[in-house]
Amino acid sequence: MHVDERLPGDRASLCTALMTAIRTEGTDPDRLILTHKCTACGKIQRNKVAQDDNRDAIFSLMKRKS
């Protein structure tokens, strides 16, 4: 969900639309960067993979984009 506007964690966005993962960066599963695009306003946001992220979903995205 699009909640951050300028800084990660600021929760300042009024958009609140869904963010779709569009790209992965890196090869180390514990240090990947996911890029998301807002489905409403088009904002692009890069985020580090968190420990509780779904690794199967991330690897699936990596396979689709390669």
pLDDT tens digits, one per residue of 15-66:
888 888 888 888 887 889 989 999 999 999 898 888 888 888 888 877 776 5
- First vs last C-alpha separation in the chain: 25
Instruction: Find residue 33's DSSP bridge partners.
Output: 25, 48
8-state DSSP, 42? -
8-state DSSP, 50? P
pTM for the structure as a whole: 0.72
Number of domains in the chain: 1
Tell me whether residue 45 is in a domain: yes
* Six token digits for residue 27: 């090869």
Tell me whether residue 41 is in a domain: yes
Q: Which domain holds residue 32?
A: 19-65
